[in-house]
Amino acid sequence: MQSDREIGTLSTYSFPAELRIDELLMRAPTEADVDTIAPAFLDPAVGGEAGLPPVDAEGLRALLREQLPHLREQGLLAPYVIVDTTTDNLLGGSALHHLDPMRDTLEIGYWLFVEARSRGVATRAVRAMVEHAFANGIYRVEAHVRIGNTASELVLARFGFVPEGVKRRYLRHGGERVDATLFSLLADDA
């Protein structure tokens, strides 16, 4: 349910346990996934583009145990791994984050291993997240993309996201703060 300023209620949106689209399953990461996904967090071409924290497997395990449950409860971060259900291969990850229950706004993020790219995986993951958000009272979905990350920009453009402007030094990439384009999609646009 959307927020209602007239009566002072906030959005009742909650992060889904999982999302499915075609053969893709987006589910919460588990400790069993850590050894497979940890290299992506240290790879500038994968995790660096997605703004993932540069942590190793042990740091990722600690994050899963100690921080993610609280971040999810607060509406700040719900990470998912993207699994191909026909092969059980992990293809990458996605996230719903920064829920603003007063404005009915949510941010999305996604990343893929190099071998999973150019197969429509990111586009379908975005579709699943956006459709879930709009079906459950979210009005505006946002994404931030490092300027120069053309592949990610194309994923969002394919789905109808509109670039709104540049946020200066908004993302971390390669040990530096870099500019990012803010993209948005409104429920009215879909």
The strands making up 24-27's β-sheet, listed across from edge to edge, are 18-21, 24-27, 77-84, 89-100, 105-112, 140-146, 176-186, 162-173
Hunting for tokens 């699943």 — which residue is that?
Answer: 128
β-bridge partners, 145: 181
Please state the rounded mean pLDDT for residues 72-82: 94
Q: Is the pLDDT of residue 125 over 90?
A: yes
- CATH domain 18-186 topology: Aminopeptidase (3.40.630)
Q: Is the pLDDT of residue 55 over 90?
A: no
Q: What is the pLDDT of residue 88?
A: 96
Q: Is the pLDDT of residue 99 over 80?
A: yes
- Collapsing DSSP to helix, strand or coil, 83 comes out as strand
Structure tokens at 56: 């190793």
User: What is the rounded CA–CA span in Å between residue 91 and residue 80?
Assistant: 11
Please state the rounded mean pLDDT for residues 135-163: 95
Compute the mean pLDDT over every residue in the chain, rounded to the nearest whole number.
93
Sequence spans of domains, the chain: 18-186
User: What is the rounded CA–CA span in Å between residue 139 and residue 177?
Assistant: 29
Which of 107, 111, 98 has its CA nearest to residue 141? 107
Please state the rounded mean pLDDT for residues 165-180: 88
